[in-house]
Amino acid sequence: MSAEQNSKNVWILVFVAALGYFVDIYDLIIFSIVRIPSFQELGVAEANMRHLGEYVLNMQMGGLLIGGIIWGILADKYGRLKVLFGSILLYSLANIANGFVHDVQTYGIIRFIAGIGLAGELGAGITLVSETMHRKRRGYGTMIVAGVGVLGAILAYYISEWFSWRTAYFVGGGMGLLLLLMRVGVLESGMFANLEKLGVEKGKISILFNNKERFRRYIYCLCIGLPIWFVVGILVTQAPEIGKALNAETTLSAGKGVMFTYLGISLGDFLAGILAQVFRSRKRVVFIYQILILLFSIIYLTWQGINEQAFMILAFLMGLGVGYWATFITIAAEQFGTNIRGTVTTTAPNFVRGALIPSTLLYGVLVGYFGIIWAAMIMMILLTGIAIFALTKLKESFDRDLDFVEED
């Protein structure tokens, strides 16, 4: 294969992976957007909206956590492409099924299945792109995947505004099935293929835990992503309650806030990728982003009498701050050998998403003692502090040759 053909195949892979993550994000947040209209049609009483909404969302989150482990092991045992095909097929069919539900219990079960499917897309895509692209340019590839991908949240918002909630699920599932056709012809990672020749044992998750240094490295990778989902899941999602505590001029819209946050995340991912290439350092970029998160969240949480326009701007800026999502996953991919890389990059983002659960529980306790504003501020200082500490413990991975394995 000529260099020109190889380059063309690499960028086709990046394009397809980016579209895959676009659909992944659409399907990941669609329930949060259509929760109220879907529950209203299903006959859920107003008093049960929050409680049953948490049930369905937690079912999806449980699927993500379990799916992260399953797909990660499969990616290392049988290949990154098989996981991409399998995960997108599963969550596409689940989303189509969601358009036919008539009771909340079934709704939750199908979101659990969808969560399992959604867990495999990003990690396998980032691993495949990282292992296929030249090490001096792979940051651009993962930047494009995440930057384009998070725009799926914008489409989800507008589809839910223009069409019924059932149609919104059908659109998500249909886009996924179309992507399966586009993936035909995409090549497997050469590094993974070489493992077959070397006879290295693959997908052995115990490798992460049987060596203290390797286990600490994995935990540090998880910790640098902790602030991301707290910003999205609490600071923006609870905007109506936070706005009330700040004596906002009007009720702040969580839906619009999420949309502007994801716009910021998309731009942030692109900028993080470019800055990493300029500085030749991913650690330095993540440190800068941690400072931005803390700065913009404190401005938001101390803005008495905040109006809707100011909130939208700050939601965008906080999204910009947490827009190191792709860089975080790329760092995780670069820290570990090929025989366990798929497991790491698939479990890491899903465990970070799942970490919102204990973060939310601690936040709830702090609210009882200090009130919603101070509780949110304490949590942001704590989470960014942990992230910065973990960052100092990881080795710089920019430009690292990824063709190595972890010894058992």
Higher pLDDT, 161 or 206: 161
Non-local CB neighbours of 168 within 8 Å, separated by 6+ positions: 30, 33, 34, 156, 159, 160
The fold of the 1-182 domain, in CATH, is Growth Hormone; Chain: A; (1.20.1250)
Q: What is residue 323's three-state secondary structure?
A: coil
Residue whose tokens read 């060596």: 211
Non-local CB neighbours of 260 within 8 Å, separated by 6+ positions: 312, 313, 315, 316, 319
pLDDT at position 187 is: 47
Calpha distance 333→224 (Å, rounded): 14
Q: Give CATH 1.20.1250.20 domain extents, the chain.
A: 1-182, 205-402
Chain segment 256-315, per-residue pLDDT in tens: 888 888 888 888 888 888 888 888 888 899 999 999 999 999 999 999 999 999 999 999
Q: Is 208 left (phi over 0), alpha (psi -120 to 50) or beta?
A: alpha
Q: What is residue 266's three-state secondary structure?
A: helix
Question: Which secondary-structure segment (H or E) carries 233?
Answer: none
- 190 token code pair: 């050469």
Closest CA to 108 of 70, 66, 53: 53
CATH, range 205-402:
1.20.1250.20
How many degrees, rounded to 5, is the angle at CA 294 between CA 292 and CA 300? 100
- Given a contact cutoff of 8 angstroms between Cβ atoms, the answer to whether 333 and 130 are in contact is yes
- Given a contact cutoff of 8 angstroms between Cβ atoms, the answer to whether 97 and 304 are in contact is no
- Given a contact cutoff of 8 angstroms between Cβ atoms, the answer to whether 110 and 98 are in contact is yes
Chain segment 213-262, per-residue pLDDT in tens: 888 988 998 899 999 888 987 888 778 888 889 998 888 887 788 888 88
